[in-house]
Structure 1
Amino acid sequence: MVEHELQLQEQSEMAARKASKSQDDLAKLSHFGTMRMLHSLPTACEYGRFGADCEYRCIDCKNGGKCRRNKSGCECASGYTGTICEDQCPEGTWGLNCKNACECDGQICNRITGECDCPNGAKCDDSCPAARKQLCTFDISSGRTSEGIHSILSLSCLYFSLTNGNTGFYGPSCNLPCQMTCSNGRCDRKYGYCSCPAGYYGEKCDQICPRFNYGRNCRHVCNCEKEYSEGCEPKSGKCICKSGFYGPFCKRRCPVGFYGQSCTKKCECAKNQECDSATGDCIRKCRPGYTGDDCQNPCPAGTYGYNCVQKCACETGASQVCHHVTGTCTCRPVCPSGLYGPNCQHECVCRNNGTCNSKDGSCICPAGYYGAACSEGISFFIITAICV
């Protein structure tokens, strides 16, 4: 074994044992004297073994890691690191050898794929770890850091958890206390401002998004029809329709016969009578195409729609007929004997074998009869003349 002398700061060994003290106490290490410390370096491992003390073999590779071709160590699968691939990639990194940085705006990413793990609307922790420590040791033989005291040979090191109760820090070294309390958000780990989760905004993240905004810091605008919606859900942006409307953007009115929130309730009105799409109250006016006290009579010929006030645009004459609900023009059918009018809905009243006009129901009377319904007969009188 070869002994290697290192010059370290005096009392560093004592500081390592008291690593749970405040950052201010640990920062005083730079003012202490120096001491001598011995570190042993191992000799080369025999073929098939590796590690700081040659303690590992290829069968020790974990988490899908495979042995190198020369059996000098493990090649780790994506998302893992360490001598035998025993560690997951540190937070904020992913991929092979953990060399890729997450791009999730402070959120956690998948250590294998790099995809951001924080779903829309979830509370993502953008703050420094609740308890943090900046000091660690540097393993000279393996080049890995571990929990303990920071070696002068290591230029940077991970922040490890300390149960010291400190919360709300930010900055490159996670040592600057946040200046404000974030009610529903987290102190941004880089700049120290309140980073609000989906559904909140404001300096302290204490205000719910306005009706037509949603997402983190309420930066997105809802696509809802404002006239027919109450707003949108502050986290997801899903439209909240007013009673009587439905659809992803609240642009559609309830179908005839339904009412209420999302149009799930069925109207309970008389046949051919409408109900209010918002309240379900029965409306006195009839459904399109009908009229009368009980809304049972179709619109008169040549009219259609609500209250039968719209005029049909069909060709005049006998060739077309107008639909009493929609106003659609269709070819006029030939009515069966005894019926007449639009859709052949009226019954002829002709008597004594009178012929009914299929258009207007007028009667063509046979010889010897007259009147609107051919109900009147003609009387014949014989006059005898006497000559004197």
Structure 2
Amino acid sequence: MTTTQFKMYLRIFSVLIITGTVAAQLKGPNVCTRQEPYTTIIRVSKQQPYQVKEKAWCFSMLPRCTKYSIKFRQVFRTETLTKYRLVEECCEGYAPDADDEQCVPVCVESCVHGKCVAPNTCTCAHGYGGPSCDISCPNGKWGRNCQNDCRCLNGGTCEPLTGDCACTPGWRGDACERACSPSTYGHKCDEICQCKNNATCDPSSGACNCRPGFTGPLCEQECPVPGEACPQNCRCQNDGQCKKFTNDCECTAGWTGDVCANRCPAGRWGEKCERPCECANGASCHHVTGKCQCEAGFTGEKCLDICPIGTYGVDCAHTCTCEHGGACAAQNGSCTCRPGWRGPHCQLRACDDAKWGPHCDKDCDCNPETTDLCDPWTGTCECAAGWGGDTCSRQCPLLTYGKGCRSTCRCENNGLCSPINGSCLCAPGYRGLHCEEKCPYPLYGDNCADTCDCHNNATCSHETGQCSCKPGFDGLKCDRPCNGKTFGLYCRQPCDCENDAPCNPVTGECVCGPGYTGARCERHCEPDHFGQGCSQPCNCSRHAVRCHHVTGDCICEDTWRGVRCETQCSAGTFGAACSEACRCANNSSCAADSGRCVCAAGWTGERCDRPCPERTYGAGCTQRCPHSLPGILFFSYLC
């Protein structure tokens, strides 16, 4: 084996193993990426439901009812997960350079008198040709024995082996016989002329030749004197600057050529086109900014990333249309179908509906009523929403729903979940998309459709509508106050009061009737007072023993009579010798000397013929009726 052959095989070997050995820090162009699968073990948590038996009040008294609720506990399991990572490597036909930093092209046959510029492509030195730049002919000749004459015109040179013409800028055609069209210029005539006002464009450099009356790099300015020629001081385009003495152009970033009319060559950008593009996967870069312009199927700042799954094309702007798990090519969206599927979008089964297997000779075991699909390759049943199991014969377990029962219900507060679409049927007392909201007062029950009927500021169960009474009230609707002998929550506490006194239905504090006092209403009023709260002084003459502690009626000494014990006349008389007849009504008495009526308790007026005004009672109508306690008969008095 010759040294040349050994070097050739060594280069081929390096290309073959490059996929597994290139580091991930490659720079510059010709870097490609691929997705590499790898496995990892993860710990997955899951909320596992379980039932809890609880006791709850059904009514305001025993017994209590049994109630079941769903609670959750966290459980863990390990899973082996296949993930994908992007691996950078040299594109096909490229290999890392000696420093393992950039990908350089590989030519299987070395370029003898030239440079390898692309995979298996040599750029030959002047006068040499052939795939390996090993053929040389005199100027104007080509062929193996250089016996053929070149036919290239206008300065074009011919390739020594094939005779193909390489045209100079401004010319095109097989023999370089055609000049660029007026609107194009440059190498292969691929630049667009920018000249204005019908100026012509130099086919080689792109410099503008202005018509009379115009000037400027692009002939965009009118001369000071219309119609006359004016000097074209600086012909530099694209903001290029003329050097002071030579008038040569100094180009801005991204431009080159005599008048800065040519973009940087492919793979270069920036000042003097010195910076190499650093774009991967065959992307080009903008000649001014260096920004990568990704090929279809790639994205990212340097076009290193493959389009996200489900998208393809330029800028990953298109949506894949592959069905049944078919893989979508990131470049053009073409589908690679899983086994068992066919068609441009993998939409067609390879087997009949009820068959599966490589030869379509096996029968599907899926329940036809609850199965969406029998996989034509594996026979696996793809269950309809709400069904699971190997043959799709089992309804989704509790708290799962959807296709294959793979989704977890999100219903709260014991709401029931539809096994088909996961919609929630709320328990009584709740509403909302996920049954997350309690019924607002005063609503309760299914769908919060019922209205509570509770009184006296009682609260209402949002689930059952059961009333929870405030202290002092009882009954299913809390509409029955305590009866005066009990107090507190549901009127269960007995009052501790004497002399038939009721107690406050909320606090149990005794409410004494007229004539009684003390914490338990156990004492009569003092002898000189009577009535409600013992607040009324007795209104009796000095001939009274005392007044009644409840009514204030005067209790007279022997021989004395009258409401105030003010006379010794018999009832109904007054005056000298008690000879005058009183005209006082309602058992009232009259003054012994004047006959003025002294009204009995509960009456007023000149003749004591009018009852006390509303909310008053007693002697002289001076006592106020007590504040009413709802539903309580206040002793035997009617005010």
Tell me which interval the TM-score lies in, with the shorter structure as reference length. Answer: 0.3 to 0.5
TM-score (norm 1): 0.40
Larger Rg: 2
TM-score (norm 2): 0.27
